[in-house]
C-alpha cells in the first residue's frame, strides 16, 4: 500500500492500474520472484492475477514460510497447486511430518514436472541412525534439470532416469561407488557435478557431457577421471585431509583447470606419469592449458 492507502498499482496515477496493463509473461515473472505467501496474496488483486498465479510454474521455498505454519503449509501447497513446479526447495521442512501429512509427496513432484529440486534432511548431531532412505520416485523425475540432495541414504536397486538433469549436487549421502557411477551414467546431459562428504571411498567419473566437477576428498581414497571428453574444470575440496588421496586422470582431453591440489598429501597421476612434490603445505591451482590429456589408449 502507498502512504495514502491506495493500492500500489494505482497510487499516483489517478486510479489507473498500470501493472495490470503488462502482458502475462511479465506478470508471471513478477509473481515467481515473490516469496510464496506474497505471490499467493496477489490472487486477491484481480481475477486475472489469480489465473496467472495458478497457471504458472510454482516456486516453493519452505524458508519463505514462517516457522509456525511451515509444516502445515508445505503439504497443502504440494497437494493443491494445480500447475507445474519450477522450483521446490525443502531445506528446513520436517520431512517426517510431510510423510505423515502427504505420503504421496515424492510422486507429486514427479507428476507436476518439477525442474529444480533441493531436498535436505535436518541433521542432528546425536542422531543414532543413518540418514533416511531417499524416495525412489525422485530418481525417476524426468523433468528435473537441477537436483541437490543432502543427508540421505541412496535406495539400492532403484532404476534411475534423469534425462534432462544438467546440475547434480549430493552431500552427505550414503551411496556405494557402483551406485554413484550408475547415477552419473543415468544423467546423459549432466554438465555440473558436486560431491561432498559422501560415503564412497572410490569415485569414478565417466560422462560424455560433464564439464565441471567439484569433489570433496575428506572420505575419498581414490578419484579416477575415466572418460570425460568435455570436462574442463576439476576442483578438489581439501578441508582437513586425513589421508593421502590418489587422483588419476585417464582420459580428459579438454581439462584445463585442476585445483586445489595438496601435492604433499595427494598423488596425481596423468596417464603413466605420477606427479609428487613433497611440500606438505603447498596448495596448487594448476592451469593445464599446455597439457592435452588424452590417455584413452591406456
pLDDT digits (tens, 9 = 90+) for 129-178: 668 899 999 999 999 999 999 999 999 999 999 999 999 999 999 999 99
pLDDT at 103: 95
* pLDDT band at residue 191 under the 50/70/90 scheme: very high
- Summarize pLDDT for 192-250 with one digit per residue, the tens: 999 999 999 999 999 999 999 999 988 899 999 999 999 999 998 865 545 678 899 99
- Summarize pLDDT for 64-83 with one digit per residue, the tens: 888 888 989 899 989 988 88
Q: Residue 236 in 3-state DSSP?
A: strand
7 lies in some domain: no
Do 45 and 189 fall into the same domain?
A: no
Do 258 and 281 fall into the same domain?
A: yes
How confident is the model over 258-284, as a mean pLDDT?
Answer: 67
Q: Is the pLDDT of residue 127 over 70?
A: no
174 lies in some domain: yes
Q: Of 38, 56, 74, which closes a domain?
A: 56
Q: How far apart are CA 264 and CA 278, in angstroms?
A: 5
Q: How large is the C-alpha radius of gyration of the chain?
A: 24
Q: What is the pTM of this model?
A: 0.78
Do 178 and 159 fall into the same domain?
A: yes
By CB atoms closer than 10 A (0-12, 13-18, 19+), residue 247 is buried
Q: Which whole-number Å values give the CA distances from 200 to 242, 243, 266, in the listed order?
A: 15, 15, 17
153 lies in some domain: yes
Among residues 100, 114, 102, 101, which one has the least CA distance to residue 60? 114
3 lies in some domain: no
33 Cβ contact partners less than 8 Å away, ≥ 6 residues apart: none
15 lies in some domain: no
Among residues 199, 262, 256, 269, which one has the least CA distance to residue 236? 262
pLDDT at 238: 67
Do 80 and 204 fall into the same domain?
A: yes
99 lies in some domain: yes
Do 144 and 47 fall into the same domain?
A: no
Higher-confidence residue of 292 and 90: namely 90
Q: Of 56, 73, 103, which closes a domain?
A: 56
pLDDT at 276: 64
Q: How far apart are CA 70 and CA 50, in angstroms?
A: 22
Q: Residue 269 in 3-state DSSP?
A: strand
Do 183 and 224 fall into the same domain?
A: yes
Could you write out the DSSP letters of every residue in 18-81? -GGGS-HHHHHHHHHTS-HHHHHHGGGT-HHHHHHHHHSPEEEEGGGS-HHHHHHHHHHHHHH-
pLDDT at 41: 62
Do 91 and 37 fall into the same domain?
A: no
131 lies in some domain: yes
Q: Is the pLDDT of residue 17 over 70?
A: no
Among residues 253, 260, 257, 267, which one has the least CA distance to residue 298? 253
Show the beta-strand stretches assigned E in the chain: 58-61, 85-90, 116-120, 146-153, 167-174, 192-196, 202-206, 212-216, 222-227, 233-237, 246-249, 251-252, 257-262, 267-270, 273-275, 283-287, 293-294
30: left (phi > 0), else alpha (psi -120 to 50), else beta?
Answer: alpha
Q: How far apart are CA 298 and CA 288, in angstroms?
A: 20
Q: Is the pLDDT of residue 289 over 90?
A: no
Q: How far apart are CA 151 and CA 123, in angstroms?
A: 7
Q: Which whole-number Å values give the CA distances from 14 to 48, 218, 294, in the listed order?
A: 21, 63, 69
Among residues 89, 93, 87, 139, which one has the least CA distance to residue 113? 87
pLDDT above 70 covers a percentage of the chain that reads 68
pLDDT at 20: 64
Residue 259, strand partner residues? 235, 285
Do 107 and 51 fall into the same domain?
A: no
Q: How far apart are CA 221 and CA 203, in angstroms?
A: 8
Do 41 and 113 fall into the same domain?
A: no
How confident is the model over 101-106, as a mean pLDDT?
Answer: 95
* The most confident of 84-88, 187-191, 254-258, 270-274, by mean pLDDT: 187-191
Q: Containing domain of residue 45, as a range?
A: 25-56
Q: Is the pLDDT of residue 5 over 60?
A: no
Do 130 and 221 fall into the same domain?
A: yes
Q: How far apart are CA 76 and CA 78, in angstroms?
A: 6
Q: Of 56, 72, 107, which closes a domain?
A: 56
pLDDT at 45: 59
Q: Residue 146 in 3-state DSSP?
A: strand
What total of structural domains would you count in the chain? Answer: 2
11 lies in some domain: no
Do 185 and 42 fall into the same domain?
A: no
Do 40 and 112 fall into the same domain?
A: no
How confident is the model over 86-96, as a mean pLDDT?
Answer: 90
Amino acid at each position: 500500500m502507498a502512504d495514502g492507502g491506495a493500492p500500489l498499482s494505482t497510487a499516483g496515477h489517478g486510479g489507473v492500474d498500470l501493472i495490470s496493463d503488462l502482458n502475462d509473461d511479465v506478470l508471471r515473472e513478477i509473481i515467481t520472484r515473490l516469496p510464496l505467501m506474497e505471490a499467493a496474496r496477489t490472487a486477491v488483486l484481480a481475477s486475472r492475477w489469480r489465473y496467472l498465479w495458478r497457471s504458472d510454474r510454482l516456486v516453493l521455498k519452505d524458508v519463505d514460510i514462517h516457522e509456525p505454519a511451515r509444516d502445515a503449509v508445505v503439504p497443502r501447497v504440494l497437494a493443491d497447486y494445480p500447475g507445474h513446479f519450477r522450483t521446490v526447495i525443502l531445506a528446513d521442512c520436517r520431512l517426517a511430518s510431510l510423510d505423515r501429512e502427504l505420503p504421496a509427496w515424492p510422486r507429486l513432484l514427479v507428476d507436476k514436472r518439477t525442474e529444480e529440486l533441493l531436498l535436505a534432511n535436518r541433521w542432528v548431531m546425536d542422531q543414532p541412525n543413518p540418514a533416511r532412505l531417499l524416495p525412489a520416485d525422485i530418481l525417476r523425475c524426468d523433468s528435473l534439470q537441477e537436483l541437490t540432495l543432502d543427508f540421505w541414504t541412496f535406495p539400492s536397486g532403484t532404476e534411475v532416469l534423469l534425462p534432462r538433469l544438467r546440475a547434480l549436487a549430493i552431500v552427505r549421502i550414503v551411496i556405494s561407488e557402483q551406485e554413484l557411477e550408475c547415477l552419473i551414467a543415468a544423467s546423459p546431459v549432466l554438465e555440473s557435478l558436486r560431491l561432498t562428504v559422501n560415503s564412497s571411498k572410490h569415485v569414478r567419473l565417466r560422462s560424455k557431457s560433464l564439464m565441471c566437477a567439484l569433489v570433496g576428498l575428506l572420505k575419498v581414497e581414490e578419484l579416477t577421471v575415466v572418460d570425460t571428453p568435455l570436462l574442463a574444470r576439476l576442483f578438489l575440496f581439501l578441508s582437513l585431509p586425513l589421508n593421502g588421496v590418489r587422483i588419476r586422470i585417464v582420459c580428459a582431453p579438454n581439462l584445463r583447470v585442476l585445483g586445489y591440489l595438496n601435492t604433499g598429501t595427494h598423488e596425481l597421476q596423468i596417464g603413466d606419469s605420477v606427479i609428487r612434490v613433497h611440500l606438505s603445505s603447498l596448495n596448487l591451482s594448476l592451469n593445464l592449458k599446455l597439457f592435452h590429456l588424452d590417455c584413452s589408449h591406456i
